[in-house]
Structure 1
Amino acid sequence: MKRMMLFALIGATGFALTACKDGKSPFNEIPDFVQGDIQQSSYDGITDDLLTAGLGATGLGSSPAPAFADPLNPTAAELRRLAIYNNYRALVDTAPGGGYGTFFGPQVGSGGEGLIPGEEFIAFMSVPGTDVPVTVMAQVPDSFDPDRPCMVTAPSSGSRGIYGAIGTAGEWGLKKGCAVVYTDKGTGTGAHNLATNSAQRIDGTLSATDGAVQFRADLTDAERAAFESSWPDRFAWKHAHSKANPEADWGRHVLQSIEFGFYVLNEKFGRELGNGEILRTIKPKNTLVIASSVSNGGGASIRAAEQDKNGLIDGIAVSEPNVNPAVDRSFTIRQGEGPVITEHSRSLLDYTTALAVYQGCANQAPAIRDTAPLNAAFNPPVIGENICNSLANKGLVTGATLDDRATDALRILNEGFGVQPEQNLLAPVHFGLAVAQSISLTYANAYGRAGVEDRVCDLSLAATDSAWAVTQLAPAAEAALFATSNGIPPSAGVNIVYDSAEGQPTNLAASASPSSSQPDYGLDALLCLRSLAQGSDAVTGAALTGPQAELASVIAEGIAEVRATGDLQGKPAVFVTGRADAILPINHTSRPYFGLNQRVEGSKGNLRYYEILNAHHLDVLNGFPGVADRYVPLHHYYFQALDLVWANLTEKQPLPPSQVVRTVPRGAITTPLAEVNLPAINPAPDQGDRIVFADNQLRIPE
């Protein structure tokens, strides 16, 4: 360990680890992409640990959240503990009866509180073409066996920080005794307060100096002061404003995290030669490596597997992956006897901006208005009516009444944008949580390589007060951002602000559009984002001109950079996706990727796709009435996917055929989930449950 820290202090000046892959050096050397120090911490599994930050299964499942001794000056350890607590609970339903502690959780399969002792190594890294820091971390549990080495990748889901996959790939890998390698994929908190110049260090503590931080906007002091004068109290955010399109490098980030993991493992377990050199004894050829994670993290691991030219990855197991498959309209998709879907494989920004524009109106459609869980709680009917009116006045929906207009908006999403009807019930709560709105803003900026100073579509990020006006973020809230933010505002007190809202810059959700003079969720701004996504005016269909046309062109190039090839190089792979996923519609993600893979790899491919009925994207919502009675945890099937890939790689057990898994909702939040609700992925499914690709069509059973 002294050697590791010595190299870290010297800097990343040695040979690249990728050179070692080519056999040019048998010795362990710091990868040349590592920037600065590698910080190392040991956890005893009693007072603190790798998986639960010392909280244990009970602490992770309990409220309130762990507190800071001094809210204005939290320690790095306190920030880490709260980050693990929040990131775990954001992805895993810990409510009683939802499966936590029975089917999944730190204590399941390990007993006690599930604390895992071991060491944690964290550093910044970079990729060619940008100097924006990317965080990488390796956790090595004490149970790791160097004679049977294994590694699991855990890139963060969503835009989360370095602990964003702790409760998913992290939990499974650590309990298996594997090293787990994480990366924030160039997203994460990375919040730069333009008023104070403060930003987060790698450990989450704040710094207003020029030291190493997760992100600062690419502005000189004079430029920052000028921007602050015109638009006070704004924030720049790493994913949105790094000018780097980080998603284009997500695959590379994951591959580098694996290389970092091999470096760490050989520092710990490699053969010391007595001359200061360490012989690399843990290598790709003797280490089982599974690329994994969920959502954006799953998409990142897929891209890594596609780009893996050095044989780092042995298998892939992902859940609900955010993957943008290359468009191949030579095949179609059909569910049961439903409509044939030809316009699949739309980009994330395409379908998300459509959801941002139309879903607020569709929430009021009679078919879902009163049955969609949490709709009334999250979506004031008056706002929905205003959105419908504004859309109608622009000729974007038809109908004389609110019911007619809302029904037409829902039809547009279902028929025009390939949103499955099974996703309709959960789409309203996602709109109320500003999911599509925040994704639209963040990814338009990222794909367009825009800076905070560009204020794309007159949108910015800031705290807002009770009157929805811009205000300073409370110091205690800013001090906790590393641990409380999900990396994509609105989050942790920072909101999306429509700077051109009628009257004054206003929280987008309460904004009145200049074209309507009514609070319609700043529809003008959302239509602007939609125009950039489709490359033409969203209202008139006319060609864009001037700077807007230039930005739309750069955005189109950015989207092209993230398209997946469908070539997993024959690696055994499992996708699990919920049919009711209302964030990443399956007709544009998992389904067409599977079809593309069949086109590209054919009989040489080894990808299996399991579509889970009554499952969706955010299991955490299953803890609420109206959701709990209808849906089951996809998380349970994600762990099954990992188990299946593990068994295939270690015991040569064949992967079950692609299939629909017919779960059984529990019917009431007071009824605990049981095995009858969660049938296992079937090694020999009935013919009527099999997903098949034949005659240029992906056929999904009803």
Structure 2
Amino acid sequence: MTPSYQKLLICALVGSLCLGLTACGDDDDDGPDGVINVRPDVVSGNIQHTRYDGASNDLLTAGLGASGLASATAPTPADPINPTAEELRTLAIYNNYRALVDTSAGGGYGNLFGPQVDADDAEGMIPGDEYLAYIRLDEAEVPVTVMVQIPDSYDPAASCMVTAPSSGSRGIYGAIGTAGEWGLKKGCAVVYTDKGSGTGSFNMETGAAQDMRGQLTTNENVDVQFESDLEASERATFNSNWPDRFAFKHAHSKTNPEADWGQYVLASIEFGFYILNERFGEETDDGDRLVTVTPENTLVIASSVSNGGGASVRAAEQDEDGLIDGVAVSEPNVNPTVNTSFTIRQGDGPVITEHSRSLLDYTTAIAVYQGCANLAPGTRDSAPFNDALNDFDVDENICTSLFNKGLVIGADVDAQAADAQRILEEEFGIQPEQNLVAPSHFGAAVAQSISMTYANAYGQFGVEDRVCGLSLAATDATTGAVVPLAQVSEELLFATSNGIPPTGGVNQVYDGATGVPTDLKLSTSPSSGIQDYGLDALLCLQGLAEGRDPISGGLLSSLLAEQSGAIAAGIVDIRASGNLRGKPTIFVTGRSDAVLPINHTSRPYFGLNQTVEGGDSGLRYYEVLNAHHLDAFNAFPGFDALYVPLHRYYFQALDLVYAHLKDGVALPPSQVVRTTPRGTGAPTLTATNVPPIQATPAEGDRILFEDDQVRIPD
């Protein structure tokens, strides 16, 4: 039970005897009976409040409106070297919304989803109040940002709340276009948290860091999102050896934030109730506010997508106080506890026993093998943006290096690439449906960035550890050599960064590259002597994940073995239990997900939950065909013809859970959702392309758990 709610419960039970714990109403002239609203213990420092009128500025679109969010022209601060906090907020909302939602014409924006859909005005701007604060769990030194948005349409007599932890490693506005949009339009309070990741950057040279609203400061008296804990002398030595480097909060805070994602979400809910009662609680004669908005009279849905979805799932598992009524998440990053008592099978395909690999395990494998697999027959010329985002010469070098190390076989590049793709599918349980999506993600350094950041986070390493010889810095576009980050880029990092480099002009640097420290993607590996995307560093990360030398299969060196052990312990701390406490829950996931492979995330979580909760389970799992992880890619040629927006089904999941909680409408059974891609020329997406989740699906579409097996229809 959270401390503040413990106090409230005791206060309600024993009245005046609780004076040492919190203030309670009594029968004197000070005010009516009741519990005084008390600021949660986890809140640290001042709470910042801003009112948005819904005309000049608003909660959802930062005053840009639906058309501004869809515009390819980003808002620009009047003085980019000195952006105001509001200008950073506007740019952050613009970038975060577009990173998760396809805002292109014809892709569903404006008719199936978007601020303007079912809105009172054409732009969908929402007036209301926004509250920002830091929280700290157990007096942790690194603060976590929380935010509450209360739309003017919120009705305390029909109170509802939606959680919106950020997706990926994004900052506080990282779920604005997902859980934020749905909740605000529904008239719910929305509670956000960066869940301990966020965009917090720290310039090792200058000591510049971001304050709570993203402005850079070197003022030691300002509470910043993140700063390196190195002493001045230690930092000076580091800068002498590795100039112009950056530390980032998710990678270098030494806290393994994912282990506390659920607690951060629960704390954000507690903060949300405090703010709601400060606004709407009955006022006493002394000017205090009574607690009138409570978990008992508020419908609370834990939500969000990707990492944010995983955080809300973990919150539901850890919800001892019954704060959460239901869960609706999309493509959640969950690492289920490994349970070999059940298997997974799609159609008549092979039985999958090696499921539930950790994020770091399968992601480092993708980082190592996908560059070569980009060239596999059937993938090389068919995968959207493969040739645009990837250097095929480098990909061939990756194949050559893998072949020379005995990691792939084949007489030529085509055969080697096919073997790399086979390894990912057969040895790492990755679905072939992701093969056309994966090359673009490799080109965008998705697996490479996740591998580096999470290895550091799980092992609780600092910037000074430079795990596997990797660091973070701006680099020259041609040579890849480290250069200082442009001032304007650093000033805007809060609004342009996704929190996990390469991002905002900061790249991954392989300090061990042949020659000089070099941008990882341009690096020559010492072991190969060829430019192979710094494969030595990526293999090192894979070795840390697997606990063995990935080439020989033998023992790691003493340093790497120690680091691998720390990482393994960190992974244990982030494993999900599968016990959702019977809460009505919906997972929606795209079968073509190339970021979080479904045989290690949603599918085994469903199986684990059925094993743990059995007949008490309230979980429904909807697997959507022709959908993947990053809807924003659907705005581009190739993707627009092949894939549909998973976002449409995420919003339907929220609608279903809301209707179930509010009106008792039954949740549809678990099922495969059969969609129809737009096809050649990508005509405008219609409801025909994306049929709704069926209340009574056909027998051949039902996802079942029978005889200790998760059974997925083809």
Q: Could you say which TM-score interval applies, normalised by the shorter chain?
A: over 0.9
* Aligned pair partner of 1:507 in 501, 513, 519: 519
1:268 has 2:256 as partner: no
1:20 aligned partner, one-letter code: L
Deviation of the 1:546 alpha carbon: 1.4
What SS is found at the alignment partner of 1:463?
strand
Which residue number corresponds to residue 97 of structure 1?
106
* Aligned pair partner of 1:56 in 54, 65, 71: 65
Contact 1:579 1:613 in 2 (8 A): yes
Which residue number corresponds to residue 215 of structure 1?
226
1:16 has 2:4 as partner: yes
* Aligned pair partner of 2:597 in 555, 574, 585: 585
* Aligned pair partner of 1:32 in 41, 45, 49: 41
Aligned equivalents of 2:601 and 2:585: distance in 1?
15
Give the length in aligned residue pairs. 689
Which residue number corresponds to residue 51 of structure 2?
42
1:557 aligned partner, one-letter code: A
TM-score normalized by the length of structure 1: 0.97
TM-score normalized by the length of structure 2: 0.96
Aligned equivalents of 2:681 and 2:587: distance in 1?
28
Aligned equivalents of 1:139 and 1:23: distance in 2?
28
Q: After the TM superposition, which residues 382-421 of structure 1 pair with which residues of structure 2 at under 5 Å, given as runs?
A: 382-421=393-432
What SS is found at the alignment partner of 1:346?
coil
Quick one: structure 1 residues 345 and 163, their matched pair in 2 at CA, closer, same or farther if it must change by over 3 Å?
Answer: same
Which residue number corresponds to residue 159 of structure 2?
149
Aligned equivalents of 1:243 and 1:620: distance in 2?
31
Aligned equivalents of 1:129 and 1:623: distance in 2?
44
* Aligned pair partner of 1:115 in 107, 110, 125: 125
Q: Deviation per CA, 1:103-132, whole angstroms, max 9, x where unpaired?
A: 000000114210000000000111126211
1:340 has 2:374 as partner: no
Deviation of the 1:23 alpha carbon: 4.7
Deviation of the 1:544 alpha carbon: 1.7
Deviation of the 1:27 alpha carbon: 1.5
Which residue number corresponds to residue 181 of structure 1?
191
2:571 aligned partner, one-letter code: I
Aligned equivalents of 2:489 and 2:712: distance in 1?
46
1:299 aligned partner, one-letter code: G
Quick one: structure 1 residues 146 and 596, their matched pair in 2 at CA, closer, same or farther if it must change by over 3 Å?
Answer: same
Q: Deviation per CA, 1:358-382, whole angstroms, max 9, x where unpaired?
A: 0000111112111111111111111
Deviation of the 1:441 alpha carbon: 0.1
Which residue number corresponds to residue 69 of structure 1?
78
Deviation of the 1:18 alpha carbon: 4.7
* Aligned pair partner of 1:308 in 303, 319, 335: 319
Which residue number corresponds to residue 196 of structure 1?
206
Aligned equivalents of 1:167 and 1:357: distance in 2?
32
Deviation of the 1:139 alpha carbon: 0.3
Aligned equivalents of 1:218 and 1:590: distance in 2?
37
Instruction: Tell which deviates more after alignment, 122-131 or 610-619.
Output: 122-131
Contact 1:16 1:33 in 2 (8 A): no
Deviation of the 1:399 alpha carbon: 1.1
Quick one: structure 1 residues 367 and 15, their matched pair in 2 at CA, closer, same or farther if it must change by over 3 Å?
Answer: closer
5+ long unaligned stretches in structure 1 = 1-13
5+ long unaligned stretches in structure 2 = 13-21, 23-34
Q: Deviation per CA, 1:24-72, whole angstroms, max 9, x where unpaired?
A: 6522111111110000000000000000000000100112100010010
Q: Deviation per CA, 1:164-187, whole angstroms, max 9, x where unpaired?
A: 000000000000000000000111
Aligned equivalents of 1:450 and 1:199: distance in 2?
19
Aligned equivalents of 2:152 and 2:646: distance in 1?
29
1:574 aligned partner, one-letter code: I
Q: After the TM superposition, which residues 273-292 of structure 1 pair with which residues of structure 2 at under 5 Å, given as runs?
A: 273-292=284-303
1:33 aligned partner, one-letter code: V
1:249 aligned partner, one-letter code: D
Deviation of the 1:329 alpha carbon: 1.0
Contact 2:514 2:523 in 1 (8 A): yes
Which residue number corresponds to residue 373 of structure 2?
362
1:352 aligned partner, one-letter code: T
Contact 1:18 1:259 in 2 (8 A): no
Aligned equivalents of 1:73 and 1:18: distance in 2?
45
Deviation of the 1:154 alpha carbon: 0.1
Which residue number corresponds to residue 4 of structure 1?
none
Aligned equivalents of 2:159 and 2:198: distance in 1?
29
Contact 2:640 2:682 in 1 (8 A): no
* Aligned pair partner of 2:464 in 425, 438, 453: 453
What SS is found at the alignment partner of 1:161?
coil
* Aligned pair partner of 2:490 in 478, 483, 488: 478
Instruction: Please tell me the root mean square deviation across aligned C-alpha atoms, in Å.
Output: 1.1
Q: Deviation per CA, 1:228-282, whole angstroms, max 9, x where unpaired?
A: 0100000000000000000000000000000000000000000111123221000
Deviation of the 1:476 alpha carbon: 0.4
Quick one: structure 1 residues 342 and 268, their matched pair in 2 at CA, closer, same or farther if it must change by over 3 Å?
Answer: same
What SS is found at the alignment partner of 1:279?
coil
What SS is found at the alignment partner of 2:162?
strand
Contact 1:17 1:32 in 2 (8 A): no
Deviation of the 1:285 alpha carbon: 0.5
